[in-house]
């Protein structure tokens, strides 16, 4: 089940793979020591782009969907990691309530929720699904395409606790990224564990904040391995007060796009890379692949058509875009058959538990693949997981490639941990 990779990987990435393999004990120890100081997010997925000459995370999700893309064979690892997470955070837990997104008609998304219910059920919890959708007023079974049924139940809130009519959970798992802001019903729950916390939702998160933390992590990791952190770090700039619909704030955007393209060009020259630099402009709090635009030349910005303007103006849950991040574009040189592919790594607690390739036949190597028409091919974690094969030739072994992805995924997860510490509204500050 190893997907057939038609990937033209050139020198640098194989060197990086070799460096990462050779440094494995140092890397694992480094992560262990980091996790002594920092708490990993409860669960995380990371989109990675492998350009052949560099390998970088481009998006880190702290309320990941897509768990249904993991194969049955990956389940045991996810269950074991879930047990470890529960044991650490709330060993006395019996009941877990999952709060999903309000996509009550998206059966693909609901299959993901059912998979989470299965994972935490097998980890030994009573798991039920509490919808905060206003239309869910009674227990609502929904048939899924594969013949299974998911049951959404209306949440019940009293002054101190959130639950269902006959179900009092001590732990609440958010699978809702709160793009529209944290609803009041989730606030002031001081008696129950809310995982991840509210400030892991997109009402608080900013991509620029995350990648600032990631840059810090990449620098320290680069030092550990003796590599240029750029090889794993996508550079970025940011702009506030951009209004695509009205065309205001675009000067800032132009200036930053231009500056970033110049920085990328310089790096490409340094490494002798014959690719055309590009940047990706994204809503700073965007998710679901919405509000994303590839820019290859600053002049492109003067010719944004109405469709793109609309696309960039409003993102998930009708949120208006104002802050944007301008991120170094990382082309993907991974392909499955003819289609462009990017790996997505799934983590539970500090453990890599699986992953898949997001594949899009109609998109280019420099475009966002998280778009309608994409499909999913499980990574070959079922056989080899993230287990490297020392001695295999760099670039030749799927397990070693996946180990490297797992390392990059964990670096992004660590950055998210830094980020959550910095944005924690209840953090104790020692001056």
Give the interface with a copy of itself as residue ranges (CB under 8 A).
24-29, 31-33, 35-36, 72-73, 75-77, 79-81, 83-84, 86-87, 91-95, 121-126, 350-351, 381-388, 390
Going by C-alpha positions, the residue among 245, 235, 256 that lies closest to residue 298 is 256
CB closer to a copy of itself out of 221 and 236:
221
CB closer to a copy of itself out of 50 and 117:
117
Smallest distance from a copy of itself to CB 386, Å:
7
192, 162 Cβ separation under 8 angstroms: yes
Smallest distance from a copy of itself to CB 76, Å:
3
Going by C-alpha positions, the residue among 269, 267, 268, 237 that lies closest to residue 253 is 237
218, 80 Cβ separation under 8 angstroms: no
CB closer to a copy of itself out of 91 and 145:
91
Smallest distance from a copy of itself to CB 382, Å:
8
CB closer to a copy of itself out of 290 and 407:
407
Q: Work out the angle at residue 160's Cα, subtended by the Cα atoms of residues 126 and 118, and round it to the nearest 5 degrees.
A: 15
CB closer to a copy of itself out of 164 and 330:
164
Smallest distance from a copy of itself to CB 112, Å:
18
Smallest distance from a copy of itself to CB 153, Å:
18
Smallest distance from a copy of itself to CB 258, Å:
43
Smallest distance from a copy of itself to CB 113, Å:
17
CB closer to a copy of itself out of 87 and 270:
87
225, 23 Cβ separation under 8 angstroms: yes
Smallest distance from a copy of itself to CB 390, Å:
7
256, 326 Cβ separation under 8 angstroms: yes
Say how far apart CA 46 and CA 405 lie, in whole Å. 9
* Chain CA centroid to CA 3, Å: 21
CB closer to a copy of itself out of 34 and 323:
34
CB closer to a copy of itself out of 127 and 283:
127
CB closer to a copy of itself out of 163 and 388:
388
Measured between alpha carbons, how far apart are the two ends of the chain, in Å?
54
Strands 55-61 and 43-50: antiparallel
CB closer to a copy of itself out of 86 and 412:
86
Smallest distance from a copy of itself to CB 350, Å:
8
Smallest distance from a copy of itself to CB 92, Å:
7
CB closer to a copy of itself out of 281 and 347:
347
Radius of gyration of the chain (CA): 21
Smallest distance from a copy of itself to CB 126, Å:
5
């Amino acid at each position: 089940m190893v997907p057939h990779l038609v990937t033209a990987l050139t020198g640098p990435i194989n060197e990086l793979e070799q460096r990462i393999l050779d440094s494995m004990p140092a890397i694992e120890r480094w992560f262990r020591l980091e996790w002594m100081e920092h708490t990993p997010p409860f669960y995380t997925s990371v989109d990675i782009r492998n350009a052949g000459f560099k390998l970088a995370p481009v998006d880190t999700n702290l309320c990941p969907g897509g768990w249904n893309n993991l194969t049955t064979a990956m389940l045991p690892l996810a269950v074991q990691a879930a047990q470890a997470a529960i044991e650490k955070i709330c060993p006395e837990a019996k009941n877990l309530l999952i709060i999903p997104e309000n996509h009550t008609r998206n059966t693909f998304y609901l299959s993901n929720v059912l998979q989470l219910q299965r994972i935490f059920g097998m980890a030994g919890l009573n798991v039920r699904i509490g919808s905060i959708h206003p239309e869910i007023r009674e227990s609502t079974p929904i048939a899924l395409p594969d013949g299974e049924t998911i049951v959404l139940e209306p949440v019940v809130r009293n002054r101190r606790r959130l639950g269902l009519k006959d179900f009092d959970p001590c732990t609440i798992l958010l699978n809702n990224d709160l793009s529209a802001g944290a609803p009041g019903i989730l606030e002031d729950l001081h008696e129950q564990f809310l995982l991840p916390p509210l400030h892991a939702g997109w009402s608080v998160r900013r991509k620029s904040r995350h990648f600032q933390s990631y840059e810090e992590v990449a620098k320290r990791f680069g030092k550990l391995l003796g590599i240029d952190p750029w090889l794993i770090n996508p550079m970025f700039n940011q702009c506030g007060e951009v209004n695509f619909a009205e065309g205001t704030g675009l000067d800032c955007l132009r200036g930053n796009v231009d500056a970033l393209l110049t920085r990328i060009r310089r790096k490409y020259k340094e490494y002798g890379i014959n690719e055309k630099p590009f940047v990706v402009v994204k809503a700073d709090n965007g998710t679901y692949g919405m509000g994303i635009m590839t820019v290859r030349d600053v002049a492109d910005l003067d010719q944004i058509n109405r469709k793109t303007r609309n696309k960039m103006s409003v993102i998930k849950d009708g949120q208006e875009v104002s802050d944007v991040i301008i991120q170094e574009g990382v082309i993907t040189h991974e392909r499955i058959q003819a289609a462009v592919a990017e790996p997505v790594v799934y983590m539970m607690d500090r453990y890599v538990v699986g992953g898949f390739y997001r594949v899009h036949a109609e998109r280019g190597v420099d475009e966002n693949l998280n778009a309608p028409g994409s499909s999913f091919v499980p990574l070959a974690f079922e056989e080899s997981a993230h287990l490297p094969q020392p001695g295999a030739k760099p670039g030749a072994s799927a397990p070693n490639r996946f180990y490297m992805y797992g390392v990059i995924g964990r670096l992004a997860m660590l950055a998210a941990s830094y980020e959550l510490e910095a944005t924690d509204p209840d953090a104790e500050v020692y001056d």
